[in-house]
Amino acid sequence: MPLAAVGQFCATSSLSANLAACTHLLRLARDRGASALFLPEASDYIATSPSESLSLCQPVTTSPFVLGLQAEAKKLALPINVGIHEPCPTSAEKIRNMSVWIDANGNITQRYQKVHTFDVFIAGGPQMQESKTTEPGSALTPPFQTPVGKVGLLVCFDLRFPEPSLALRRNGAEVVTYPSAFTVPTGQAHWEVLLRARAIETQAYVVAAAQIGRHSEGRASYGQSMIVDPWGRIVAQCRKVEVGEEPRTAGEVEPEICVAEVDLGMLEKMRKEVPLKRRFDVYPEV
C-alpha cells in the first residue's frame, strides 16, 4: 500500500528558509518510503503585512520557492502537494491562495484556488480579514489520479464547509487535502473534530498538512498535521500547540513529518458495506 507523508513547519517571510525547510521534509518523506508529500498552506511565505505579501508574491515561473521545490521533486521523483501564493491578474492589490500538485517529474499538473476566504474577529484573539487581500476562487478542481489515490484539493478555511468535500467525493475523490495554517485558538477548538467529520461523511482519507509556531508578532499556527482514514480514525499526526503553551518561533520549531498507509481496498470495502445513499428527493443536492 502507498504511504502518504504530511509535513509541518513554521513558515516566515524568508522564501529561502521556507524552501530549505520544505526540502528537508521532502528528503525525510523519501527516506520513509512515501509515495507523495503533502505540505501546508502558504509554504512559500507568511508575511508580516499585506504590503510585504504583495512584494513577496511571484508567478510560479519565477518564484525561487516554487522552482526550487519543482527541482527537488524531480530529483527525488516524489510528488508534492503544496500551498503557495500567486499574483492576482485582475487586481494589483490582491493575491491568490493556491494549492498545487507537483508531479514526480517536477511539473505543476493541478491547481486549485481557495474558494472560502478566512474572515474572523475573535474578541481577545485572532482578527483577520483574508477577503481584503485575497481573491477567492470560483470553481473546484476535479479529483485526479496520484500514487496515493484520487485526490481532491481544498485549503484551510474550506474545512468548515462540508459542501466542497462532498462534491469532490461525488466526483470520485478518495483523498481530500486541507493544507492549512489554522490559528491556535480555532485549532484547539475545531481542527481535529472537523477533519474527522469530513473523513467520515465523505468516506475518504483526509490529509491535512499544517503550519505550526509563531510566524511573526501577532500570528501563530496550531500544527497537528494529520491523516484521517475513512472511518474517522487518526492514523498519523504531528505535534500541536497545547492549551496554555506559548507557540515557538520558526528557529525553535523542528520541521517534521508523519506517514500513514493509504488503504484504498479498505476504503472501497467500507463504501460498499456502509453506503451513504443520499435523499435528494427530500433535501437539495449540494
Residues annotated as part of the active site: 41, 114, 156
Note whether 244 and 266 are within 8 A (CB): no
Note whether 63 and 15 are within 8 A (CB): yes
Q: What does the alpha-carbon distance between residue 20 and residue 108 come to, in Å, rounded to a whole number?
A: 20
162 burial (CB, 10 Å; 0-12 / 13-18 / 19+) is middle
Write out the three cell numbers for 143.
479529483
Q: Which amino acid is at 80?
A: I
Note whether 38 and 26 are within 8 A (CB): no
Of 139, 218, 136, 127, nearest in space to 171 by CA: 139
The residue written with cell numbers 503533502 in the block is 38
Write out the three cell numbers for 195.
477533519
Write out the three cell numbers for 257.
513529518
Q: What does the alpha-carbon distance between residue 120 and residue 131 come to, in Å, rounded to a whole number?
A: 10
